[in-house]
Amino acid sequence: MILGSFAPDEGPRTVRRRVVGSLVSSTFALPGPAAPSIPEGSQGQGDTGTSAHEDPTMIDDKDRTHLERCVELASDALASGHEPFGSVLVSKDGDVLFEAFNEVGGGDATRHPEFAIARWAAQTLQPDDRAAATVYTSGEHCPMCSAAHAWAGLGRIVYASSSSQLTQWLAELGVAPSPVRPLPINEVAPGVPVDGPVADLAERVRDLHRRKRA
């Protein structure tokens, strides 16, 4: 599910895209070599190490507002039968450009919101605008999405919960580990500024994963 900024509820959710208020059906091309396919959510998407930045003082009120929206989108994904992940792309001026949530429930394990953002940005935005934009997400990018983010030339990433947190949560829930080694963002894309997690929002994300497997 992909939405424009602050799109209203439109009833039953189907696979559709909304960009700045217009419904479209598009195929996006990501420049550079294709990233590997890595499942999100039930297979885990992080290691047990420490994420790049875990200082809550790095997250300001504007960041928190966008992260809360990501958690809302993750809840929408869960309600639609997918893994609970949601992401938002925000311009340097603070405008929400693009929203998406996870859509792997249909069988395509590459349908991650962060990957959708990277492809849309590569197709739509100028390089300077991509570099100045921020991606907010309910969960730290998996390696596939980190690579897509870097190839698209996007800027800062801010996440509510880290890959190491997710890995621990899923292990506690008895979920099998990923067949692909999960890596923190900066091990895949070392030049990307990264901030997160946020403790109370991470707990809300954890609860969504519990509900998914209840």
* pLDDT for residue 6 is more than 90: no
User: pLDDT digit string (tens) for 64-73?
Assistant: 999 999 999 9
Question: CA 71, 115, 61: angle at the middle one, nearest 5?
Answer: 35
CA atoms within 13 A on the CB side of 22: 4
How many whole angstroms separate alpha carbon 171 and alpha carbon 211? 15
The two three-digit tokens of residue 20, written as one number: 């700045």
Residue type for position 6: F
CA atoms within 13 A on the CB side of 108: 9
**pLDDT number for residue 9:** 35
Quote the mean pLDDT of the chain. Answer: 82
Instruction: State the average pLDDT over residues 15-30.
Output: 36
User: pLDDT digit string (tens) for 100-140?
Assistant: 999 999 999 999 999 999 999 999 999 999 999 999 999 99
How many whole angstroms separate alpha carbon 173 and alpha carbon 117? 29
How many whole angstroms separate alpha carbon 131 and alpha carbon 150? 10
How many whole angstroms separate alpha carbon 35 and alpha carbon 174? 28
The two three-digit tokens of residue 59, written as one number: 């997250």
Q: Which SS3 state, helix, strand or coil, does residue 179 take?
A: coil
Residue type for position 170: L
The mean-pLDDT minimum among 24-38, 56-70, 160-174, 179-193 falls in 24-38
* pLDDT for residue 24 is more than 90: no
Instruction: State the average pLDDT over residues 178-204.
Output: 94
The two three-digit tokens of residue 48, written as one number: 């047990």
* pLDDT for residue 2 is more than 80: no
Q: Which of 17-26, 56-65, 189-198 ranks highest by mean pLDDT?
A: 189-198
% the chain with pLDDT above 90: 70
Instruction: State the average pLDDT over residues 12-19.
Output: 35
User: pLDDT digit string (tens) for 96-111?
Assistant: 999 999 999 999 999 9
Q: Which of 16-20, 115-119, 175-179 ranks highest by mean pLDDT?
A: 115-119
Q: Which residue has the higher pLDDT, 28 or 56?
A: 56
How many whole angstroms separate alpha carbon 190 and alpha carbon 150? 9
